A = this chain, B = another copy of it.
Amino acid sequence: MSASPRPAVTPEPPYYAVIFTALRTEGDRGYGSMADRMVQLAAEQPGFLGVESARDPATGMGITVSYWADEGSIRAWRENAQHRIAQETGKKSWYADYQLRVARVERAYSGPAGR
């Protein structure tokens, strides 16, 4: 996924993070436009708090962290019909390898701009 290149501003913890780390396959294969659409769609979901994304074009390694108010909002997003199509295409075509982790954010610190 792509997102505005900024650390996300999120409310006080606790809240949830979905950490998606992936190694892309070669070539775009429709990934770029779908990723942009998924970020827009995620941002419209109830409980969405923010998203951060970075990808090194040289290695194909990317990390996307999305933030959510609670477990229910993560579950609803996972089951979103358009998102499910993107998930399936990701498994078949876009990702050589990935790890997805769901975590409860307990503490957060910001700096220097956010201090």
Residue tally, chain A, CB below 8 Å to B: 46
Is A1's CB within 8 Å of the partner chain B?
A: no
B91 touches A99 (CB 8 A): no
C-alpha spacing A17/B103, complex, angstroms: 8
A21 surroundings in chain B (CB, below 8 A): 7-8, 52, 54, 65
* Minimum C-beta distance from A87 to chain B (A): 10
* Minimum C-beta distance from A106 to chain B (A): 6
A97 touches B109 (CB 8 A): no
C-alpha spacing A59/B108, complex, angstroms: 23
Give A contacts to B, CB under 8 Å.
5-10, 13, 17, 19, 21-23, 52-63, 65, 91, 95-114
